Amino acid sequence: MTQALAGLKVLELGQLIAGPFAGKTLADFGADVIKVEPPGDGDPLRKWRLLHEGTSVWWQVQSRNKKSVALDLRSDEGRDAVRALAAEADVLIENFKPGTLEKWGLGYETLSAANPGLIMLRISGYGQSGPYKDLPGFAVVAEAMGGLRHLTGEPGRVPVRCGVSIGDTLAALHGVIGVLLALQARQKTGRGQVVDVALYEAVFNCMESLLPEYSAFGAVRQPAGSALPGIAPSNAYRCADGQAVIGGNGDSIFRRLMQAIGRDDLAQDPGLADNALRVQRVDEIDAAITTWTVQRPVADVVAALQAASVPVGRIYTVADIAADPHYRARGMIQRITSAEGLALDVPGVVPCLSDTPGAIRRRAPRLGEDNGQGFDAA
């Protein structure tokens, strides 16, 4: 079955997370992605976290469906090779510090002169313009500047980070959206363009009501642990053998939740009839729920509330994910074999398309495995 992006030619110059995640997403849906890596050690991600025979198992996910070409972009020969590939490409992805490609003679004006239809996705800490553009920017800083880090953690304590590099991933996904928009525009104009994604802006774009609440009321949202301020009840609750998350913030859902935990008095209380009223008494509501959950194991809490059509779930570890039948039924866990012969479970392809689904077509490449090959090579 033809994939949605079959025939799209993508040249990936980025490394580590943000740029390569964008490349992976395009590759999963059929794009022909050539990843350019520096000779020697290649992309640093090859050596990050847990390794098998010297290669990160993360690499097997981030670089699946891609080809690897080893080129030294600091050499004339390497830059000439990139120019030749860019002349054929539909999309070029890079996440270097702004100005780096221009220093190498590989800026957009230069490459688009030879290929006017070229779309260049540029991911950086602060974007290609503005007073901070030349500062080094990693996701950890972007998450802080974008407003996310201030909200994570418990009140009065040092903020914690999300356990993954969420700023990089958000930037990558915004980058993919930008590429798809630019491809749509190119169908009308015949011209490519630059997609400029800043890590902090990708985070900021997901901060919901943060800015308008400050603008209108001077309200500075504060960290609230596992709760979601202004929405009640929605929290993580202690159980006899762990924790469960419960979302009972819809009006009818709240009534069913209260009835399920034996608190019909709260279900019928007119002072809790809508979210605005419940927010004023959220501590009382959370205490009532905890009194019920703490006496029961997680499995019983989940079963009882699912039976009442209340959104509920236990907090998964990766072991829970690997064992969950729904993940398997949805194709969200796939088995691959690495270049080193390791059989490995990896995340499936998201999103699910009914007619032109994505797929894992080939394993992650060894460094320079596709040297000398172009976009049309098998």
Q: Pick from 94, 90, 117: which is nearest to 32 by CA? A: 90
CA separation for the pair 105, 123 (Å, rounded): 18
Rounded CA gap, 202 and 17, in Å? 14
| d(C-alpha 2, C-alpha 356), whole Å | 6
User: What end-to-end distance do the CA atoms of the chain give, in Å?
Assistant: 17
Cβ atoms < 10 Å from Cβ of 117: 16
Question: Catalytic residue among 28, 32, 43, 168, which?
Answer: 168
The number of beta carbons lying within 10 Å of the beta carbon of residue 78 is 19
Q: 142 with 171: CB under 8 angstroms?
A: yes
**Strand order through the sheet with 66-70:** 66-70, 32-37, 9-12, 91-94, 119-124, 194-198
The answer to whether residue 168 is catalytic is yes
Nearest of 41, 35, 26, 22 to residue 66 by alpha carbon: 35
Known catalytic residues? 168
